[in-house]
Amino acid sequence: MKTLIIIPTYNEKENIERLLESLSAFSADILIVDDNSPDGTAEMVNKFSRKDSRIKLLSRQGKLGLASAYIEGFSRAISGGYEYVITMDADLSHPPELIAELTRAGESFVTGSRYVKGGKITGWPFYRHILSRGANFYARTVLGLKNRDLTSGFNFISTALLKEIEYQKLSSEGYGFLIEMKYRAIKKGFSIKEIPITFTERKNGSSKLGKSIIVEAFLLVLRLKLNEVI
């Protein structure tokens, strides 16, 4: 099973070293999509890729956004002949030891879920819980979906599915991308299996979640719903 782990990075120098070390146990190739992080994340990745040919760096010119980082990563996976991708954050929030479980589920789309039985989040302030639960409740209800965690960035996806949902045409910039990707997959008849994870908030660096990303995700859900009814 030829799998590419795709990790988008923006200013993750303090985290990427530990993450790459913990991923060395897996046989999958790794692609870091870095947006010219001013903190020197790319140099750190290069240090690793010189020692380990499975680690590759895609350096982009500037902060082009999370969604386009995923899209470029997916295109690389497809052109490189990979059958599956795994997406994960660089800030050690997603437990690498659960990768095996995601891949073992034998599905085209498996997500590491914080909102199914056994799932958990540690280290979040109250407002992040409200925001994330609220966003998931809103998206799930408006779009009539059964899945609990539509915004998880820890995913195992077949490249055949990505082609079928025309991932290059997804319209969102930030976290909305994850909702839109899951929505399109479900509309195409795929089911998304949710495996419980413990999400641990980052200890180093800062979150890139901003107001505009939240507003975008809110409007995206309305737009997807409107497209269904008109």
For Mg ion, give the closer residue by CB, 88 or 165. 88
Which residue number is nearest to Mg ion in terms of Cβ?
A: 91
Rule CB under 5 A: is residue 93 a binding residue for Mg ion? yes
Q: Quote the CA–CA distance of 225 and 149 in Å, as a whole number.
A: 18
Which range in 43-51, 100-108, 190-198, 199-207 contacts Mg ion by CB under 5 A? Answer: 199-207
Min separation Cβ 121 and ligand GDP, Å: 10
Q: Could you tell me if 98 and 195 are in contact, meaning their C-beta atoms sit under 8 angstroms apart?
A: yes
Beta bridge partner(s), residue 59: 34
Q: Where on the chain is the footprint of ligand GDP (CB under 6 A)?
A: 8-10, 12, 33-35, 63, 65-66, 69, 89-91, 93, 153, 202, 207-209
For Mg ion, give the closer residue by CB, 91 or 180. 91
Q: Could you tell me if 186 and 192 are in contact, meaning their C-beta atoms sit under 8 angstroms apart?
A: yes
Which of 81, 88, 78, 92 has the alpha carbon at shortest distance from 30?
88
Min separation Cβ 109 and Mg ion, Å: 21
Q: Quote the CA–CA distance of 147 and 150 in Å, as a whole number.
A: 7
Which of 169, 189, 14, 191 has the alpha carbon at shortest distance from 105?
191
Min separation Cβ 229 and ligand GDP, Å: 30
The residues of the shown chain that bind Mg ion, judged by CB under 5 A, are 89, 91, 93, 202
